[in-house]
Structure 1
Amino acid sequence: MTPLKIAIADEHKIFRKGLIAILEDFKEFDLVLEAGNGFEIVNQIPFKKPDVILMDIKLPDMSGLQMIGYLRENFDGVKILILSAHYEDQGIINVMKAGANGYLLKDSEPEEMIQAIHDVCEKGFYFNKYLSVTLIKELLVQPPATIGSREAMLNDREIDILKLICEESTNIEIAEKLFLSVRTVEGYRTRLFEKIGSKKIAGLVIYAVKNGIISV
């Protein structure tokens, strides 16, 4: 398997070195570029050809939105994973609609970062666990990237439950509405994750939108 080429753009050298130390433990990654500003990254992309850029939303020489716009216009195949210390709904929506493939908090566990890198490469997106279903739906009105999903044949009951999950209903609420036991609903929910091929609610919502099960 060819290693994924990674670039890092963050003005804080200590943080960059911490990311590098984490990535070095994984043979599936090849760090090809690191820089403390956007211009250096932009100038080196044609030569280093990274698959994924781990990028702080705030760089000293250009805004994150400016850099995302430039990358999307000139290097659309590069995946962009935003790293930020801030969780603000509108900020996440802005960068995702601008063309970023994912948004990750800087205090996330290393395992989540590794998963996020794989997700943006394999699925085209990464939504972290803090995003509500409502925000995910808003992002999907103008998808930032091509979003793929596994083919899944759902029966009528699974579709009913999927719709209620997308309405943010709890297992107890779903059980009451459909006259099922909570344990039965839990079983359906588990099967939906397996059939659709997702570990998170975001994947279920994306599948439902793509297949016309719900509208946004």
Structure 2
Amino acid sequence: MIKISIIDDEQLFLEGLKLLFSNENKVEVVLAENNANDFIEKLEQTKPSFFPDIALVDIQMKPINGFELVAILKEKYPELKLIILSSHYKKNVIGHMIKLGVSAFIPKNANKTLLMEAIEAVYEFGVYFTKKDKDLVQDHLNFRTKKPSIITKDQLSKREIEVLELICTEKTNHEIAENLFLSKRTVENHRQRILEKVGAKNTVGLVVYAIVNDIHPLPPSF
């Protein structure tokens, strides 16, 4: 059973999602709030056995918007996987997703099948990233007039790409060190440099970056 939490200030949309998930035997809604501050407070009080695996987060909220909430959640609960639900499905927003380490970005007009597919993929692989998402980010990078905030793979060394490929297969620093005949400390240094170069906040951001730059394949669809 995949434990889901939802934060959206549109009460009807929130209730609709709860009703939708009530008919699914693969997911359970353990927390649903229409205010980000209440959501954070309730999350802090949640027992480990009921703590959500995934949070569905709206972008346009007040007083804390979705991106601000994501930054807070990633800082406090790095293992919590985040899926953005928004009407603003744009390439610059998708690009920002990489920086924040969000696991998926689903438009609010998506159907139930797509949403469930995304939830299952994020739970299983840590990320759900469609070809359309990939094309949007690549287009965003190709047509920016300013210096890109997300670098291309050409700016990573061969060794950094090798380390990144292994990170994407969920290998630990110790396992990567054994694979590449390096010390664990060297791998840790490579990982940190890659994070700094890419501008990602965590492993999810690195995986999305790797997918966009054809370093790692898209996860299989369900």
TM, length-normalised to structure 2? 0.61
Larger C-alpha radius of gyration, 1 or 2? Answer: 1
The alignment partner of 1:82 has SS state of strand
**Greater mean deviation of Cα atoms: 89-98 or 103-112:** 89-98
Q: Residues 122-141 of structure 1: CA distance to partner in whole angstroms, max 9, x if unpaired? A: 11111245324362696796
Q: Which amino acid aligns with 2:6?
A: I
1:199 is matched with none
Task: Show the 5 A alignment for 1:129-168.
Answer: 129-133=131-135, 135=137, 147-148=168-169
In structure 2, how many angstroms separate the alpha carbons of the residues matched to 1:10 and 1:90? 21
2:107 is matched with 105
Q: Which amino acid aligns with 1:209?
A: I
Distance apart, 1:40 and its partner CA: 1.4
In structure 1, how many angstroms separate the alpha carbons of the residues matched to 2:101 and 2:152? 13
1:121 is matched with 123
2:25 corresponds to 1:27:
yes
2:203 is matched with none
> What percent identity do the matched residue pairs reach?
23
In structure 1, how many angstroms separate the alpha carbons of the residues matched to 2:95 and 2:110? 19
Structure 1 residues 115 and 148: CA distance shift in structure 2, 3 A:
farther
TM, length-normalised to structure 1? 0.63
Structure 1 residues 208 and 73: CA distance shift in structure 2, 3 A:
same
Distance apart, 1:96 and its partner CA: 3.1
The answer for unaligned runs of 5 or more in structure 2 is 142-149, 154-163, 171-207, 218-222
Q: 14, 17, 23: which one pairs with 1:16? A: 14
1:56 is matched with 58
The answer for unaligned runs of 5 or more in structure 1 is 150-201, 212-216
In structure 2, how many angstroms separate the alpha carbons of the residues matched to 1:85 and 1:54? 13
The alignment partner of 2:105 has SS state of strand
Q: Residues 93-119 of structure 1: CA distance to partner in whole angstroms, max 9, x if unpaired? A: 113321211100000010000010111
In structure 1, how many angstroms separate the alpha carbons of the residues matched to 2:94 and 2:212? 17
Higher relative contact order (CA 8 A, sep 6+): 2
The alignment partner of 2:106 has SS state of strand
The alignment partner of 2:115 has SS state of helix
2:34 corresponds to 1:36:
yes
1:190 is matched with none
The alignment partner of 2:133 has SS state of coil
Give the total of aligned pairs.
154
Q: Work out whether residues 9 and 38 of structure 1, in 8 Å CA contact, stay in contact via their aligned partners in 2.
A: yes
